[in-house]
Structure 1
Amino acid sequence: MKIYHTSKLPGRTVVTIDGQEFLWFTGTDYLGMGHNEDLRRYVNSATETFGNHYGSSRNNSLRLDIYDETESHLADYLQNEAAIIVSSGMWAGQLVMKEIENIVQQQPTIARIFYHYAPGVHPALWGHVFQRNEGEWSEWASQTVRKINATDSDVAHILCMDAVGSPMVKAFDFTLLNGVQKPANLWLIIDESHSLGVTGSSGNGVAEQIDPKLLTKTIFVSSLNKALGIPAGAIWGSKTVVETVRKSPWFAGASPPAPAYAYALKMLLEQNKYAAARVVLMDNIAYFNAKMEGNALFETVSDYPVFCSTNAALFDHLLQNGIMASCFPYPSPADAPVTRIAISSLHQKEDLDRLAEVCKRFNA
């Protein structure tokens, strides 16, 4: 696999260090925040007040109010009780995995805990007795429900899963989990890194797809550095869960994200900048789908900006026609590479026309 290098952040296009220019159709900057002028302006202005970073614990005796203010706005955006931000999405997941048994054991009737890991779950949610599952998600979900229903009432079950499949994009049918007979003993941990800002009625992710009886014990984690463009991570759910995380030594001992970016996140939420970028993204997705109607080249899901293929030759074909997608093994070097195309809010209609034209030629 050839590696390409660039000295400048890609946007609509990317220029490699040897001078080649390509249309850039990959990455995870779905809302185009990498080049968003509002985000740049908010960060630049905030450094005057908050400095370049915060060299302290969030649980110190002196605390910056901007973190709490931002978390309140984020919880409102997510339509959830509470949220807390940390340094990265990976740490958000691992922090929850380190604290989940303390959270579960607040229920005094629980004597044992079983873990269930969905196929393809991101490494952020790899925890106790993790084993990779290569099966189909729907089959895993149905089998897991049967296992849960066959266990005693003093057993808690922790299900770890992604909100949407990555790198090979897949949608998951969360209604399959509704058959659990003892929902009080079930905890869901869902990684929203590839759905936050994109899916849901307002970009707030997959919460509205979860049965209300399961939602009270669902913990969401996410990178904020994909669609939302903020170098940080987040955890959200019930106030009890968030407060347990806040008191954790794993939270107290970890450096927080830069407060200037916390301020920028607050302002982008307040001013509905993400909503505006999402409108453009949805229009771009619909436009490209209309151009590719009837073409079975890709694995994709409805109203989602990622289009995948296991055919590595597609990546080379795109490159030869001035388009750079991505194709590499993920998450481990032993995994099969996936050719992955991602549309963003930065793309223009002529970019999408060119992408559709080149893709159709490959599939002719």
Structure 2
Amino acid sequence: MAHSIYRIPDRQILIDGEPHLYFGGTAYLGLQAYFPFQDLYLKNVLKYGMHYGASRKSNVSLEIYGKAENYLAEWVGSEDCLTMSSGYLAAQLVVQTLLEKGHTILAAPNAHKALCSNGVIVTSCFEELEKLVSKELTQNNPMPVVLFDTIDFSGQQYPDFKSLTKLPLDKVILIGDDSHGMGIVGENGSGCYRMLKSLKPAKLMVCCSLGKALAIQAGAIFGDKDAIQKLESTAFYGGASPASPSFMGTLLDAKALFSERLQTLKTNYRYFKSQLKNPSFFNHMEGHPSFEFQNIQIATSLKNDGFIFTNFNYPDDNGPIVSRIVLSAYHEKDDIRRLANSLNSHLK
């Protein structure tokens, strides 16, 4: 059942007038309603305004974009970076550019719909992906491209990326969507770029939304300078309005907050795991604050105990009901203790 609420969800939300503890969504660092973060954003609104209504390729440009992109590239460990107004547009810029250049693009199982546009071949299993990559390498075509979610919630990718290591990566372009990794996994929350780079693919680009963990309404693409410059030269990039400069300024000003909230999230994660008596019940990736399961009875019992979490048919209305418990930096220790106690009582 969908619940309509009147404000951005935090650790507690009202459902039919009754308070419930909220363990859903993707606000991993709990920043959207965090006053110190809001204060930084409002200061940047006064400095930069709400929106920059011009192309990034215009003859007049705001320097904050370059500063933000340099910071992101250094943080993530890439040579270069560009930003767009959303993670969806960032993904589409990469995919459409490669399609226009004649590359065959294969989407791994569980790849996000933002990546799987018309022209992309969606595979149903990793064995099919391996076969299609091998077949493509026998053709006299541009290098094949493999799209995937770094955090795909099935455990097939992060943290070991075992499915990717079965591919001839030195002959493949990898495009990862790191929307659920950026800000929370990797060194100081830098995401998966360095991990993927260590696999030595022929070419690597990573795109992501900055709006999940970091609460920055924008998307980013990471790669080498040549790849980023080619994306910047496209009409797609030039014709799209940029992200709000206020968010770019907030991204720079919130560096200390990101680190602080990440440490709080890690503390919450460790405490939750220490309280669980049956962790194997969940589909879980070590180090990621999400715990997925498919059990309607348990989901109903948790709802009756006063907990709201991500719970919907996936990937469409005909799919099974998938439940996902998500920990955030806004949760308090008692919230987590209560959730663990409820789970332990129902999983006996």
TM bracket, shorter-chain basis: over 0.9
Question: Does 2:40 align with 1:50?
Answer: no
Structure 2 spans left out of the alignment, 5+ residues: none
Measured after TM superposition, the shift of residue 152 of structure 1 is 4.6
Selected match of 1:324 from 280, 302, 308: 308
Structure 1 residues 19 and 178, CA gap change in structure 2 (3 angstroms): closer
Measured after TM superposition, the shift of residue 333 of structure 1 is 2.3
**Deviation larger for 203-212 or 303-312:** 203-212
Aligned counterparts, 1:117-132, within 5 A: 117-132=107-122
Aligned counterparts, 1:14-29, within 5 A: 14-16=13-15, 18-29=16-27
Question: Does 2:293 align with 1:309?
Answer: yes
Say which SS state the counterpart of residue 189 (structure 2) adopts: coil
Asked whether the equivalents of residues 115 and 157 of structure 1 are also in contact (C-alpha less than 8 Å), the reply is yes
Structure 1 residues 300 and 220, CA gap change in structure 2 (3 angstroms): same
Structure 1 residues 331 and 116, CA gap change in structure 2 (3 angstroms): same
The match for 1:71 is 69
Q: Structure 1: how far apart are the matches of 2:141 and 2:32?
A: 48
**Deviation larger for 152-161 or 242-251:** 152-161
Measured after TM superposition, the shift of residue 215 of structure 1 is 4.7
TM-score, scaled relative to structure 2: 0.92
Asked whether the equivalents of residues 145 and 177 of structure 1 are also in contact (C-alpha less than 8 Å), the reply is no
TM-score, scaled relative to structure 1: 0.89
Measured after TM superposition, the shift of residue 209 of structure 1 is 2.5
Measured after TM superposition, the shift of residue 293 of structure 1 is 4.1
Root mean square deviation of aligned Cα: 2.1
The match for 1:345 is 329
Q: Structure 2: how far apart are the matches of 1:252 and 1:155?
A: 25
Q: Percent identity?
A: 27
Measured after TM superposition, the shift of residue 275 of structure 1 is 1.7
Selected match of 2:124 from 120, 134, 138: 134
Selected match of 2:236 from 225, 240, 250: 250
The match for 2:8 is 9
Question: Does 2:157 align with 1:159?
Answer: no
The match for 2:173 is 187
Q: Structure 2: how far apart are the matches of 1:176 and 1:322?
A: 38
Q: Structure 1: how far apart are the matches of 2:199 and 2:121?
A: 28
The match for 1:266 is 252
Q: Structure 1: how far apart are the matches of 2:133 and 2:301?
A: 43
Measured after TM superposition, the shift of residue 186 of structure 1 is 1.4
Aligned counterparts, 1:83-98, within 5 A: 83-98=81-96
Q: Structure 1: how far apart are the matches of 2:218 and 2:146?
A: 24
Q: Structure 1: how far apart are the matches of 2:69 and 2:235?
A: 19
2:38 partner amino acid: R
Structure 1 spans left out of the alignment, 5+ residues: 106-111
Say which SS state the counterpart of residue 214 (structure 1) adopts: coil
Q: Structure 1: how far apart are the matches of 2:202 and 2:85?
A: 25
